[in-house]
């Protein structure tokens, strides 16, 4: 029971908007760490997040976060922060006033609310813009103030719907660094994003969703291994890539080889990763080629996205 109280649980959850399917029979058990929701537009990512936070109610099934439900708002929203995609704010407020008002609703003292609002503005690097009206903000600044509002009360669970949208490369890197820092502090992060290669770097787990159904979920490397019908690609850095490629092709499981652009490595695609590594070890022991580094070349969310869902997983 205690272990379940640090999880986000979806138990056979379905959501229909009239006759339109949102998500169907979702069962998920999300442990602490960084979890990325990946899927094309309209796949059900935002519906999952809205179900998690009570903005929509499940048609059937049950959702809980750390053992709490959104119906118990007093306790639930002290633990959960949600940075939505909705790009609108209460009118005529500065960024700081917006955060201050939000924090006052938690029931904290005005002094604490002021301190936490200033801290959140600092953490998202909004600077003096926090004292300007939100109406004058750029898209990136609005994204930052939304993020600041979600993290200001120090939640244990942070739900982020496309948090990198509208941010320039520098701000994206800052946000990712902040997510990593929050993760290190033990915050449970659930992120949906189209910018897969960036989010991939900080993710512990991935949930792939399309058409309202979960296609795969779990540790990124485990999910990749489970995709048995798609050959895996491995990059091997060595002194004689052509020779290595010809040796590896003697084995049936090797289906493709491509030299690296700098000529000092080779991408090999294999249908049997275990056999592949066994053969590679043998070649290394023989001393035929000097191997400097071996790394999976498509063991990431983007590759899994392409295999399981299709498309390029790039920002839309």
As measured in angstroms, the least distance from the Cβ of 42 to other proteins is: 11
Between CA 35 and CA 9 the distance in angstroms is: 13
Identify the H or E element spanning 135.
none
Does residue 137 touch other proteins according to CB under 8 A?
no
Is the separation of the CB atoms in 44 and 207 below 8 Å? no
The binding track of 173-212 with respect to other proteins, each residue x by CB under 8 A or -, is: ----------------------------------------
Check residue 301 for interaction with other proteins (CB under 8 A). Answer: no
Q: In Å, how far are 55, 154, 155, 188, 190 from 182, measured between CA atoms?
A: 24, 10, 10, 8, 12
Tokens describing residue 206: 């991935």
For residue 109, what is the DSSP state? -
Q: What is the DSSP letter of 49?
A: H
Q: Which one of 35, 43, 64, 102 is in contact with other proteins (CB under 8 A)? A: 102
Cα distance between residue 212 and residue 217, in whole Å = 14
Q: How many residues bind other proteins (CB under 8 A)?
A: 30
User: What minimum distance in Å lies between the beta carbon of 86 and other proteins?
Assistant: 5
Residue 262 contacts other proteins per CB under 8 A: no
d(CA 314, CA 310): 11
| C-alpha span between 131 and 149 (Å, rounded) | 15
Q: Which of residues 16-75 bind other proteins (CB under 8 A)?
A: 17, 50, 53-57, 71, 73-75
Nearest distance from C-beta of residue 164 to other proteins, angstroms: 20
101 is an interface residue for other proteins by CB under 8 A: yes
Select the span of 31-39, 84-92, 204-212, 243-251 touching other proteins (CB under 8 A).
Answer: 84-92
Instruction: Report in angstroms how near the CB of residue 43 gets to other proteins at its nearest.
Output: 16
Coil, strand or helix: which one is 251? coil
- Residues interacting with other proteins, by CB under 8 A? 17, 50, 53-57, 71, 73-78, 82, 84, 86-92, 101-102, 104-107, 149
């Amino acid at each position: 029971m205690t272990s379940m109280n640090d999880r986000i649980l979806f138990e056979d959850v379905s959501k229909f908007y009239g006759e339109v399917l949102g998500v169907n029979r979702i069962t998920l058990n999300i442990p602490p760490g960084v979890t990325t929701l990946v899927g094309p537009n309209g796949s059900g990512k935002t519906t999952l997040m809205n179900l998690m936070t009570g903005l929509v109610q499940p048609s059937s099934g049950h959702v809980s976060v750390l053992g709490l439900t959104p119906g118990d708002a007093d306790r639930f929203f002290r633990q959960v922060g949600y940075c939505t995609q909705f790009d609108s704010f209460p009118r005529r407020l500065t960024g700081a006033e917006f955060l201050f008002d939000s924090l006052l609703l938690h029931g904290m003292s005005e002094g604490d609310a002021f301190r936490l609002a200033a801290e959140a503005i600092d953490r998202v690097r909004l600077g003096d813009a926090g004292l300007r009206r939100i109406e004058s903000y750029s898209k990136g600044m609005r994204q930052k103030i939304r993020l600041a509002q979600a993290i200001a009360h120090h939640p244990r669970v942070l739900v982020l719907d496309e948090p990198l949208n509208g941010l320039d490369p520098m701000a994206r890197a800052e946000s990712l660094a902040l997510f990593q820092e929050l993760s290190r502090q033990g915050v449970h992060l659930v992120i949906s994003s189209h910018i897969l290669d960036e989010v991939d770097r900080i993710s512990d787990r991935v949930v792939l969703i399309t058409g309202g159904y979960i296609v795969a979920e779990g540790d990124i490397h485990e999910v990749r291994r489970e995709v048995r019908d798609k050959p895996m690609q491995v990059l091997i850095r060595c002194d004689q890539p052509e020779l290595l490629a010809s040796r590896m092709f003697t084995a049936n499981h090797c289906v493709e080889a491509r030299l690296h652009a700098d000529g000092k490595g080779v991408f090999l695609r294999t249908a049997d990763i275990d056999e592949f590594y066994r053969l590679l070890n043998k070649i290394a022991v023989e001393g035929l080629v000097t191997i400097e580094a071996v790394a999976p070349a498509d063991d990431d969310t983007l590759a899994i996205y392409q295999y399981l869902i299709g498309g390029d997983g790039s920002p839309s």
